[in-house]
């Protein structure tokens, strides 16, 4: 099972005595100057069932920031059908132009 995410920061969920970290990093430029739209975290079916019992996980799934699949897919392609960047995402050129007086040359 895979959890696809469009959140910027990783989120740790405690399930019993285990911590499951759902990867963040969407909409954040990495060291190669690549900005992924989505990221994936592999979980077991049992872990996913437990995660869905946690209200904050369930709400993010309902809001479209998390999506699940039993198959591994390209996270960027999955992200196209999910909620966009969360409020903590880095500003891209378009957002900077929108919120400031600076314009691209």
pLDDT of residue 38 exceeding 70: yes
pLDDT band (50, 70, 90) for residue 62: very high
pLDDT of residue 96 exceeding 80: no
List, in sequence order, the alpha helices (H) in the chain: 45-51, 55-63, 75-79, 93-99
pLDDT of residue 86 exceeding 80: no
**Residue 7 dihedral angles phi and psi, to the nearest 5°:** -85, 155
pLDDT band (50, 70, 90) for residue 54: very high
- Is this model's pTM higher than 0.85 or not? no
Q: Are the C-beta atoms of 68 and 22 separated by less than 8 Å?
A: no
**Cβ-based neighbours of 102, under 8 Å, separated by 6 or more:** 96
């Amino acid at each position: 099972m895979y959890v696809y995410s469009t959140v910027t920061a990783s989120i740790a969920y405690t399930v019993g005595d285990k911590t499951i970290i759902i990867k963040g990093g969407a909409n954040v430029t990495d060291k190669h100057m690549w900005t992924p739209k989505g990221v994936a975290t592999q979980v077991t079916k049992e872990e996913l069932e437990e995660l869905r019992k946690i209200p904050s996980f369930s709400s993010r799934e309902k809001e479209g920031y998390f999506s699940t699949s039993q198959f591994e897919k390209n996270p960027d392609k999955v992200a196209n059908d999910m909620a966009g960047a969360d409020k903590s995402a880095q500003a891209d050129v378009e957002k900077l132009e929108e919120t400031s007086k600076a314009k691209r040359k």
